[in-house]
Structure 1
């Protein structure tokens, strides 16, 4: 699959069929493929960006929601399979980190190679994530959680129409991730990089290192200034750090990077 034509679960904002590696990005709870769209012009020609689009939001607003991890992973794996004709890496933020981990294992168990690297952002290791019941609360409780984490415009939550639409798929995603427990099976064999903001209420360096339980390979942790949604204001730093881990030569061919990681 080398065209820009979308599939239900995948978006390619700037297809690069000749790229040497594909970067598959999975959004946070309530997020969509557009959360990674700004990465496309900053990546070098050697990286093909593939963004996962969960149903029920953005251009899939009318599609039925999916609140089950196994079903989500199975659907993404099925559509991603034709794109695994070259090395790939997975990047997931928050809920997307857990989806990416299970996706990597599902692809491997289905006969595909493991990713070159798994990037887990803003979330504790799957076995360490505390259970939650936010999805069972009323709308006010859900809004309070969103405001605690940041990343959701207060104007959106204040508009009755937008609020109803947004809370529907956000609650769905919380139901998915709060009911998820790691699937049985062996860990990965690829390296894992854990990224986080230094003011993230969900994770710190001590529990970030617990991702060592997910792989037999090396795990490294990098902290960026910011909260749970550090990704947007630190976009260039994040991409520079990501590219250095994939192949330092890619950094030289990307858009200009800041002097610090």
Structure 2
């Protein structure tokens, strides 16, 4: 039987939709990155189609205006999601991508649209603690060194021009992160699964506890690996992400 596939018409999604899956998993990248952070992920996890989200102002959308604030990002993405809310779905966001995923869930609820069945947040303190992100206090040379380390961690020797482009994206993303304030938690209408990476020196389990205020059902899970190991879609992560539907 031939798979029924529809072409992705929105620049927000880099993979074409498939009619073969009964659910969807929308994946939100971290600051300074794009949908390619999920390039090693399979087409589906646990029967849910993997749909990486491409924010404007990076990768194949480098010429698009930057989103400016998480609130703008969430409002624009909520509009783009409307045609794709015909199946059950979940959100996965890593690091600052978890904040974008959370805000998008809030915008969908405000518009009376279907919301995610699960919100998976990975390696990111709760929204009201987001200003504690260590990268917000780093200098440009420190951020450049951080980018080079991440690129090398993906098995790529960083070129100066690659790092220049990546740094420009990261600085705009961090400016948005620095502007983000949510002093009072707004609960989402779905369970929140909070993921801690055991070898992550950046975020401790204690720093993740603030998510308890964002849903009536919050579960904390630990997975072996470091802060960026989500990119390889380890089996333990896939097992967890495949268990919601």
What range describes the TM-score normalised by the shorter chain of this pair? 0.7 to 0.9
Aligned to 2:6: 3
Change in 2 beyond 3 A, CA 1:158/1:146? closer
Aligned to 1:232: 231
Displacement of 1:37 in angstroms is 2.9
Residue 165 of structure 2 corresponds to residue 165 of structure 1: yes
Superposition RMSD in Å: 2.5
Matched residue of 1:124: which SS?
coil
- Comparing 100-109 with 29-38, greater Cα deviation is found at 29-38
Count of equivalent residues: 240
Displacement of 1:127 in angstroms is 1.0
Aligned to 2:57: 56
Is the Cα contact below 8 Å between 2:13 and 2:51 reproduced in 1?
yes
Aligned to 2:48: 47
Displacement of 1:207 in angstroms is 2.5
Normalization by structure 2: what TM-score? 0.87
Q: For the residues of structure 2 that align with 1:129 and 1:183, how far apart are their CA atoms?
A: 10
Displacement of 1:145 in angstroms is 4.5
Is the Cα contact below 8 Å between 2:185 and 2:213 reproduced in 1?
no
Aligned to 2:27: 25
Q: For the residues of structure 2 that align with 1:157 and 1:18, how far apart are their CA atoms?
A: 37
Change in 2 beyond 3 A, CA 1:30/1:51? same
Change in 2 beyond 3 A, CA 1:65/1:135? farther
Q: Gaps (5+ residues) in structure 1?
A: 248-261
Aligned to 2:178: 178
Is the Cα contact below 8 Å between 2:43 and 2:49 reproduced in 1?
no
Aligned to 1:12: 15
Matched residue of 2:150: which SS?
coil
Q: For the residues of structure 2 that align with 1:212 and 1:134, how far apart are their CA atoms?
A: 24
* 1:166-219 CA distance string (max 9 Å, x none): 100011111111221127673112101011211222322222232111112x21
Q: How does 1:1-261 map to 2 (within 5 A)?
A: 3-12=6-15, 15-41=17-43, 43-44=45-46, 46-131=47-132, 134=135, 138-146=139-147, 151-153=150-152, 159-182=159-182, 186-216=186-216, 218-233=217-232, 235-244=234-243, 246-247=244-245
Displacement of 1:99 in angstroms is 0.5
* 1:94-127 CA distance string (max 9 Å, x none): 0110000110010011111221100000101111
Normalization by structure 1: what TM-score? 0.82
Displacement of 1:34 in angstroms is 1.8
Is the Cα contact below 8 Å between 1:87 and 1:116 reproduced in 2?
yes
Q: For the residues of structure 2 that align with 1:189 and 1:58, how far apart are their CA atoms?
A: 33
Displacement of 1:89 in angstroms is 0.5
Is the Cα contact below 8 Å between 1:156 and 1:162 reproduced in 2?
no
* 1:198-248 CA distance string (max 9 Å, x none): 1222322222232111112x211111222211213452220111112x13x
Matched residue of 1:38: which SS?
coil
Q: For the residues of structure 2 that align with 1:234 and 1:49, how far apart are their CA atoms?
A: 11
